[in-house]
Amino acid sequence: MSLSLNDRVARLNDVLVSVNLLNWDARVMMPAGGAETRGHQIATLMGIAREMILDPAMGEAAEAVLASDAPDLDRRAALAVQEARTHHARIPAALLRRQAEQSITAGAAWTEARRTGDFTLFQSHLQSIVDLAREKAQALGYDGHPYDPMADVFEPGATAAKLTSFFDQLRDGIRPILDAALARPAPRSDFLFRDYPIEGQQAFCAYIAEALGYDMTRGRLDTAVHPFEISMTRYDVRITSRWNPNYLPMSIFGTIHEAGHALYEMGADPSLTRGAHATDMIGLYAVAGTSFGMHESQSRLLENHIGRSPAFWAVHYGKLRDTFPEQLGDVSEAEFVAAINRVSPGLTRVEADELTYDLHVMLRVKIEMALMDGSLKAADVPEAWNAAMRDDLGLEVPDNGAGCLQDVHWSHGYIGSFPTYTVGNSTAAQIMAHLDTTQPAVRAGVAAGDYSALHGALGDLVWQHGRSRSRAETSASIGAEAYDPTAYLAYLQGKFAG
């Protein structure tokens, strides 16, 4: 008997989540010497996945669903399969394999380059990644900029032109708010840089993730050079953080951020899952979310709108101070909240305040676009990066480890993913503005340390839909437009310009 579309996608998903598991191991547990062979293993599985998606029987199964009176959700899945087939048919199998192998070896090179601050250890790998991305863009085709098909992978419908317009509006709006914020006296923050034993940080971060609803029976919290979340279906969603013994916010907000991603994954409607097979995970990017931008909206919403709010710390600061009594014994709750929301331009994106964060993203996207159109070579990235940091934030970069080597994304071939961080910030603001107007129980719950109303609201609006509802559709459902920064700028104005 011929397999149904759901059965075929479930088998495909089993291969893809195996890739995710190998990637998780490579970034958390694997010895450095295993990088080359791990690259071959992942490339083999990605090749198998490609064969499965391009199997004529997969196409026939999708066509059968579309020719039937199947429910809307099944029809959407069938259309997604057809889109994935078209996409992957355009990419040569050899190119897919080279990208998979390159991502693992480049990842190992990046780790060492970042540790030493020596960009030359990563330079040739980055150029290879860019060359492969340009080759992929040519294979996929584009009418505008070679960046377009790369951005579209992570945020469907995104183009260089759309993103440039969106970023220009946002930059123009952020600059006066930033200038006003920097003109005010900075709050006390010395205590954030005291000696915080890693064991205490790990214990508190596990506590805060669970308090926010992260289910440790379906997940785990580990250590990575660069924090990430990864899903092996909604039943196995893992997060990582990193621990700086002399800067407390890094681990706390890294954990809250990744927990936001994880709650999205865990919150996908069980009806989208057959047994242990998440049938909504179609394509070679096995995430439940409809796009990276929507995914990022959930992590940034939890990290900033909830995790940095005074109401949140009114509930949890006592636990934090009990964990670090010597370090925080002379610090009031109000002082702590002011410190974690201070505006202080810095070198590192993941530690950036909310006002300067998007300037970091824009810097990276500008470099990516230049790499893709050939106006910038990998060898010139450090100079371009340092000049942009000087112009945008008035900062001098002391070494490449604190500069262009700080993010893991390029080493994994994720050219086109950076815009989704700012897209996520904007979407998070749209969602919270809507919830503040329509569901006051959400804020009331946060003030009481009860996140059930928040989970219910986000579950109804975002989580339950998995990949079956686009980010544009979600924005439209609350009266917003996908690339309109109005709500985000209003949030920043209200928080930082008052």
Measured distance CA(171)–CA(228) in Å, rounded: 27
Statement to judge: residues 167 and 54 lie in one domain: no
**In a 3-state reduction of DSSP, which class is residue 30?**
coil
Could you count the other beta carbons within 10 Å of the beta carbon of residue 481?
12
pLDDT reported for residue 93 = 85
Could you count the other beta carbons within 10 Å of the beta carbon of residue 22?
17
Nearest CA-CA partner of 283 in 125, 73, 46: 46
Statement to judge: residues 176 and 41 lie in one domain: no
The answer to whether 215 and 266 have CB atoms below 8 angstroms apart is yes
pLDDT reported for residue 434 = 98
Measured distance CA(190)–CA(485) in Å, rounded: 33
**Confidence (pTM):** 0.90
In a domain, 150, yes or no: no
Domain boundary at 68, 90, 112, which? 90
CATH number for position 180: 1.10.1370.30
The answer to whether 196 and 245 have CB atoms below 8 angstroms apart is yes
pLDDT digits (tens, 9 = 90+) for 33-87: 998 899 889 989 988 999 999 999 999 999 999 999 988 878 888 888 999 899 9
In a domain, 123, yes or no: no
- Indicate the number of domains in the chain: 2
pLDDT reported for residue 288 = 60
pLDDT reported for residue 234 = 87
pLDDT reported for residue 1 = 52
pLDDT < 70 regions, the chain: 1, 272-288, 498
Range of the domain at 297: 160-497
226 known member of a binding site: no
Statement to judge: residues 337 and 456 lie in one domain: yes
Statement to judge: residues 79 and 214 lie in one domain: no
Measured distance CA(108)–CA(115) in Å, rounded: 11
- Torsion angle (degrees, nearest 10) of CA 468, 471, 475, 480: -150
Give me the DSSP letters along 314-380. Answer: HHHHHHHHHHSHHHHTT--HHHHHHHHT-----S-GGG--HHHHHHHHHHHHHHHHHHHHTSS-GGG
Statement to judge: residues 264 and 381 lie in one domain: yes
In a domain, 139, yes or no: no
pLDDT digits (tens, 9 = 90+) for 168-219: 999 999 999 999 999 999 999 999 999 999 999 999 999 999 999 999 999 9
Domain boundary at 62, 90, 118, which? 90
257 known member of a binding site: yes
In a domain, 112, yes or no: no
Domain boundary at 36, 60, 90, which? 90
145 known member of a binding site: no
Statement to judge: residues 296 and 438 lie in one domain: yes
Statement to judge: residues 329 and 416 lie in one domain: yes
**In a 3-state reduction of DSSP, which class is residue 396?**
coil
Measured distance CA(487)–CA(428) in Å, rounded: 9
In a domain, 143, yes or no: no
Report the catalytic residues.
258
In a domain, 281, yes or no: yes
In a domain, 393, yes or no: yes
In a domain, 235, yes or no: yes
Statement to judge: residues 70 and 186 lie in one domain: no
